Amino acid sequence: MSKYKLVMLRHGEGAWNIENRFCSWVDQKLSEDGLREAEACGKHLKSLGFEFDLVFTSILSRSIQTAWLVMQELGQEWVPVRSSWRLNERHYGALIGLNRAELALNHGEEQVKIWRRSYDVAPPPIDGSHPYYQEIHTDRRYTFCDIQKDKLPKSESLKQVLERLLPFWNEEIAPEIRKGKSVLISAHGNSTRALLKHLEGYIGGLSTALQNAVDKPLMPASPPLTFRQSVRTNHVTAPSDLSVTAEDGAAAERGAGVES
């Protein structure tokens, strides 16, 4: 039996994932395939006997929908859900809505890679002239967050995602895991990546399979990433048909821990 139980999912496919556009804080719903992926993930977790005590999501619909569908398939709809902007996808600033391939043609592959995968480089900030500025920055969902609306990010590096995520992890998530609750986090590529980076020190380095799993911006055919931590056996396990690369197959094994 694992001492600590944590499952992290990236949401299922959204419409802008198919179009290869930066979705970020735009509130896209899951596509038909995305709905099916989330259901399939729930079915799979059920077949493995997962039971959750608490669910965390971002305040973006694709993460919430994914959590709902998973919990519905598990027959555990009653489990409390806590949602926070701190689990939102990275704020991609002025890049929001842009097509990655077109961006690479205009700015070069290397620059796009830096914007997407460097640790401490933030993309250019969004401003009032951006087509999605109003939709995002006047959105009612940000009115009563634990941050003033005008202090919300205008663009974020992965480092900044981790900085805004950590208070939520330290104060809301990790204490519940330490109490022994089985926790599901349904989030996004970069908020998951940031959290994995934070946990890396405790789980002793990430396997290539896990890194690749969260690295895929487009996973139309892939179920969301799932892994669980076992302190006793020092394993982080990606169940076989949820591991996204064939490289190390069923299990990515590393030491584990949830200390913040």
Ligand X SMILES: O=C(O)[C@@H](COP(=O)(O)O)OP(=O)(O)O
Q: Which among 15-23, 122-130, 149-157, 223-231 is the span making contact with ligand X, rule CB under 6 A?
A: 15-23
Please say whether the beta carbons of 54 and 184 come within 8 A.
Answer: yes
One residue of 116, 130, 164, 235 binding ligand X per CB under 6 A: 116
Nearer to ligand X, 84 or 182 (CB): 84
172 is a catalytic site residue: no
Residues 176-215 that bind ligand X (CB under 6 A): 188-190
Nearer to ligand X, 152 or 231 (CB): 152
Please say whether the beta carbons of 56 and 183 come within 8 A.
Answer: yes
Neighbours of 230 (CB within 10 A): 17
Nearer to ligand X, 61 or 260 (CB): 61
Beta pairing class for 228-230 and 235-237: antiparallel
Residue carrying structure tokens 């608490």: 54
What is the amino acid identity at position 193? Answer: R
Please say whether the beta carbons of 76 and 52 come within 8 A.
Answer: yes
- Residues contacting ligand X: total by CB under 6 A: 13
Please say whether the beta carbons of 4 and 231 come within 8 A.
Answer: yes
When asked if residue 235 is in the footprint of ligand X (CB under 6 A), the reply is no
Strand, coil or helix: what is 143? coil
Please say whether the beta carbons of 62 and 29 come within 8 A.
Answer: yes
When asked if residue 8 is in the footprint of ligand X (CB under 6 A), the reply is no
Question: How far apart, in Å, are the Cα atoms of 235 and each of 4, 213, 242, 253?
Answer: 11, 17, 16, 5
When asked if residue 23 is in the footprint of ligand X (CB under 6 A), the reply is yes
When asked if residue 86 is in the footprint of ligand X (CB under 6 A), the reply is no
Whole-number minimum distance, CB 243 to ligand X, in Å?
Answer: 18
Nearer to ligand X, 113 or 149 (CB): 113
Active-site residue identified among 89, 91, 188, 235:
89
One residue of 24, 207, 226, 237 binding ligand X per CB under 6 A: 24
For residue 140, what are its two tokens? 């009612």
Whole-number minimum distance, CB 217 to ligand X, in Å?
Answer: 3
89 is a catalytic site residue: yes
Catalytic residues: 11, 89
Residues that bind ligand X (CB under 6 A): 10, 14, 17, 22-24, 89, 92, 116, 188-190, 217
